A = this chain, B = another copy of it.
């Protein structure tokens, strides 16, 4: 065996702890796979005194010193797109150390510059844990499904949102209610905005899209909408139509451009994505002529995320020279965003309207003017005099047309609240 492969770990939270524990439990076996002894030589985290259920060796208070230490690889598990995490990764790469990270925000924002830095210094920068946790989807896109090109990637990439939507469906309870419970149970952050607002999914989607399409990550081009406005009614109506609502990240090739979007979408109940329940993640890849491939499993948590980090560490130790986004930086094209609003699909629309004559005629008129035609409709009265719920499924229509119609409809004083529009993934 050659010299030991020296590991420095920054961050000892859930994931960092999982990495330390897995290396302690199965280090010998993993070292044999790597062809070198895997050895943690230094660690750093916010609080040295925090109670931990694993032994800490090589502690340093100075996180940045890890990038200057004698390590072969720096494992960045601090998080955040700027600050110390970015500084650590940049310094480590500049100092000729491999970097393994789970930091989706950092990569989505600064991925191209970091890939350049890694390439310049002839080291690898790996991030399997940054998207879909334990599912080896980065590897599958970077090395597996490359022969025929990728036409689309669709993923359930945020376990918190999927848990909330699954709970809402099974219990019939409202979003706020389920979110509060998820927070109490530790399944959702105190500030849940990044999860339920779709931002976290956007980070992950930007990374998967870059690998899939051979472009630099382009986070700014992702159209993002969260799940906060989804109601139990929407979920129940979806079910009546044979669909289920999921927060999807979708990136697809459209005439040489790339459409990237994160939004609640209806997927057929029998589809693979619809059957990703609870906190799990799932990714579907349309790999051109090779067909569609589907991957699912745990996307977060100690062991699944540590599993991805450790696979990256072992690969870095093996010395496999692999470009950060699957291609040399010079070959990464800029991602030209497609006009997402031109994309057509059937849409689910829901309106809450006053129970007075002429409302439906007026809505129908607005839809017709915008060129939106209706395939089916359900009108439901809760109680005499109470607002009426109208639900419609459109024929294939562009988002732009639906938005134009909804703007006109929403302007009516007979329509209460914000009309709801959810695209249906029927492909």
Contact = CB atoms under 8 A, between A and B. Distances in A.
A272 to B, nearest CB: 7
B293 A33 contact: no
A14 interface: no
A327 B30 CA distance: 9
B321 A148 contact: no
Contacts of A303: 147-148, 288-291
Contacts of A136: 136, 139-140, 143-145, 293
A135 interface: yes
| Copies of this subunit | 2
A134 interface: yes
B322 A26 contact: no
B311 A147 contact: yes
Contacts of A26: 147-149
A323 B327 CA distance: 24
Interface stretch (A108-116, A294-302, A394-402): A294-302
B321 A318 contact: yes
A306 interface: yes
Contact of A272 (B30, B148, B272, B315): B272
A314 B30 contact: no
A145 B307 contact: yes
Interface residues of A, number: 57
Contact of A33 (B287, B289, B326): B326
A319 B135 CA distance: 25
Contacts of A275: 270, 272, 275
Contacts of A33: 146, 323, 326-327
Contact of A22 (B135, B148, B272, B308): B148
A239 to B, nearest CB: 15
Interface string A262-291: 000000001010010000000000011111
B147 A30 contact: yes
Contacts of A310: 146-147
A136 B22 CA distance: 24
Interface string A64-93: 000000000000000000000000000000
B30 A146 contact: yes
Contact of A146 (B143, B311, B321, B331): B311
A10 to B, nearest CB: 19
Nearest to A298: B291
Interface in A88-110: none
A257 interface: no
Nearest to A139: B144
Interface string A198-235: 00000000000000001000000000000000000000
Contacts of A16: none
Nearest to A320: B320
A286 B214 CA distance: 32
A328 B298 contact: no
Contacts of A296: 272, 293-294
A26 B149 CA distance: 9
B307 A297 contact: no
A35 interface: yes
Given A318-B321, A320-B320, A140 B143 contact: no
A311 B144 contact: yes
A416 interface: no
A314 B32 contact: no
A290 B134 contact: yes
Contacts of A140: 136, 139-140
Given A148-B303, A287-B134, A296-B272, A318 B311 contact: no
6 contacts: A144-B307, A147-B309, A147-B310, A275-B275, A291-B303, A294-B294
Given A136-B144, A294-B294, A294-B295, 10 more contacts: A22-B148, A26-B148, A32-B327, A32-B331, A128-B144, A134-B293, A270-B275, A289-B303, A318-B321, A320-B321
Q: Which 8 A-B pairs have the closest CB atoms?
A: A136-B144, A293-B297, A289-B303, A147-B310, A320-B320, A290-B307, A291-B298, A147-B307
